[in-house]
Amino acid sequence: MTPTRLTATLGITVLLLAGGTLAHADDAPSVPPGTEATPSAPVEVDPNDPDLKLPEGATLAGAKVLDIKSVVEDQSGDERREDTNTDVKFALQAEVLFGKDSAKLGGEAKSRIAGIAQEIKAQNATRIRVFGFTDDLGSAAHGDDLSKERANAVHDLLSQALDDPGITYEVRGYGEQYPISDNSTEPGRKKNRRVEVSFPRTEN
């Protein structure tokens, strides 16, 4: 039976006001360098429109679309897919792929990675990022090494599945950097122990 999937779609447009306090955008999102969304604003807003009720002394900055994101996560939380207007990202929890504190791929890893390979082929992607992450338990140096070893293991299996010399890979281990959940709880640490595979969407 196909597991229930939870889907959330998020579109955010933020108007930044100089001199006002109506909106705040985080200028340092918790994502690895090179993976930030970079869409441009789709509409122009007339700063002199009388229906815009700006605080006295405030001026209107340009509209900025931070991202449009679709997130699909299986009910167990083992696998998560994020689609933006520019990229596709799969995040697999480490427990699905590896044994505890290990970079050796387990029995379920091959089918999971094969599914990602099929999507890469469907998107005709030629640039792929494979990033490994850990929680903050243990030393930072150990986390860095383990996350890199795990990213390399996923890369090796993925490149075998794709068997395409025209694809270039960026493989990195970030250790405990860029957590996506709270490291003070085990459920949060479990989400942070992950390998992410991302690639550009096909341009239509």
Q: What is the pLDDT of residues 126-157, one digit of tens each?
A: 999 999 999 999 999 999 999 999 999 999 99
Arithmetic mean of pLDDT, 182-192: 93
135 burial class (0-12, 13-18, 19+ CB within 10 angstroms)?
Answer: buried
**Which amino acid does the sequence have at 13?**
T
What's the pLDDT at 55?
Answer: 73
Instruction: Answer yes or no: is pLDDT of 160 > 50.
Output: yes
Q: Please state whether the predicted TM-score (pTM) of the whole model is above 0.75.
A: no
At 66 the pLDDT is 57
Give 63's strand partners.
15
Distance CA 99, CA 9 (A): 33
Q: Which of 95, 21, 3, 12 is nearest to 57 (CA)?
A: 21
Task: Give the count of beta carbons closer than 10 Å to the beta carbon of residue 63.
Answer: 15
Distance CA 105, CA 103 (A): 6
d(CA 190, CA 77): 9
The vertex-103 CA angle with 112 and 81, nearest 5°, equals 35
Please report the pLDDT score of residue 72 as a whole number: 78
pLDDT digits (tens, 9 = 90+) for 53-110: 667 777 767 666 555 667 777 667 788 899 888 899 999 999 999 999 999 999 889 9
Q: Show the DSSP H helices in 1-139 as ranges.
A: 94-97, 109-123
pLDDT band at 25 (very low <50, low <70, confident <90, very high): very low
Q: Which residues contact 14 (CB under 8 A, 6 or more apart)?
A: 23, 25, 63, 64, 66
- Long-range contacts for 156-159 (Cβ within 8 Å, ≥24 apart)? 157/105, 157/109, 157/110, 157/113, 158/113, 158/116, 158/117, 158/120, 158/128, 158/130, 158/197
Residue partners of 192: CB distance under 8 A and separation at least 6: 133, 134, 135, 136, 176, 179, 180, 181, 183
97: nearest Cα among 172, 196, 180, 181: 196
**Higher-scoring residue by pLDDT: 155, 203:** 155
